[in-house]
Amino acid sequence: MKKIIAGNWKMNTTKAEAVALASDLAQKIANVSADAQMILCPPHAWLSLVGDTIANSAVALGGQDCHTAEKGAFTGNVSAPMLKDVGCQYVIVGHSERRQYCSETNELVKTKAEAALKNGLIPIICVGETEAERTSGQHEASVGKQLAESLPDDANIIVAYEPVWAIGTGKTATNDDVAAMHAFIRAQVSQQVKGGQSIPLLYGGSVKGANAKDILAIQDVNGVLVGGASLQADEFLSIAEAA
Ligand code: PGA
């Protein structure tokens, strides 16, 4: 299985920066690794431009979120059919920032993932415990509940484990913690989802060139979801190289 190297640009980049970054990556990825599937998830405003920039390259396009409905009076939202129409193959749903700042529940995340699947997109469904849950030993219970309630019963999904305390903080989980959580998640999705043995599991949270190789070598880590380090072409390419 190719390692998935997904970049979540969040609400960053100007139009010019987005095009420059995407074109740099699209040109250089060819020389990097055939074992890596690179996915870019730029802000929705730049999807069309970035899509044009990476057309005919090995880089794929993804959205950062989608609405549950196909269309309608939902000011400010983007639907799964729109993402498909603009050339996306993937969409992130349930990122912890959306769970936290937009009060997204597991049930809502599952409905979004179902909308993505129905429209031919692969949802990258994010789960992860908070720092308080980790220190009180509740991390498996928390992630287990998120998996149980956020995942549709469909093998065509990707799960991203992102401990909330490791996102954008420079703190990464130890390799042992990542290994333990990925084993836990693999066991649960194998029971819960038909074909769950082969669903790609990504790790996210302060991944960078310097730690990518060790993280990608862990059993059941099938790729990474990268925030900050995906905004610099060379740093992001060095993560792909580690694959
Ligand atoms: P980070 O973000 O790499 O900046 O920690 C990861 C994410 O939020 O997906």
Cα-based distances in Å from 44 to 37, 53, 90, 124, 205: 21, 15, 13, 16, 22
The answer to whether residue 33 scores a pLDDT higher than 90 is: no
Q: What is the pLDDT of residues 202-215, one digit of tens each?
A: 999 999 999 999 99
What is the distance between the alpha carbons of residues 233 and 174, in angstroms, rounded to a whole number? 26
Is 17 labeled as catalytic in the residue annotation? no
Cα–Cα–Cα angle for 243, 215, 188, rounded to 5 degrees: 105
What is the distance between the alpha carbons of residues 209 and 237, in angstroms, rounded to a whole number? 8
The answer to pTM > 0.85 is yes
Is 182 labeled as catalytic in the residue annotation? no
Q: What is the pLDDT of residues 150-192, one digit of tens each?
A: 999 999 999 999 999 999 898 888 999 999 999 999 999 999 9
The answer to whether residue 201 scores a pLDDT higher than 90 is: yes
Distance 205 CA to ligand 1 centre (A): 5
The answer to whether residue 30 scores a pLDDT higher than 90 is: no
31, exposed or middle or buried, with CB in 10 Å at 0-12, 13-18, 19+? exposed
Residue 181 tokens read as: 């959580």
Q: Tell which atom from ligand 1 comes closest to the C-alpha of 230.
A: 3
Residue 134 tokens read as: 């980790």
Distance 57 CA to ligand 1 centre (A): 24
Distance 72 CA to ligand 1 centre (A): 31
Q: Tell which atom from ligand 1 comes closest to the C-alpha of 97.
A: 8
User: Which residue bears the tokens 């299985």?
Assistant: 1
Cα-based distances in Å from 59 to 66, 77, 90, 162, 202: 21, 25, 12, 23, 17
3-state secondary structure of 240: helix
Report strand pairing: 3-8 vs 201-204.
Answer: unpaired
Q: From the candidates 104, 129, 162, 241, which is the catalytic residue? A: 162
Q: Tell which atom from ligand 1 comes closest to the C-alpha of 207.
A: 3
Distance 46 CA to ligand 1 centre (A): 19
Hey, which of 8, 90, 161, 171 would you mutate to test ligand 1's pocket, going by the most ligand atoms within 8 Å of its Cβ? 8
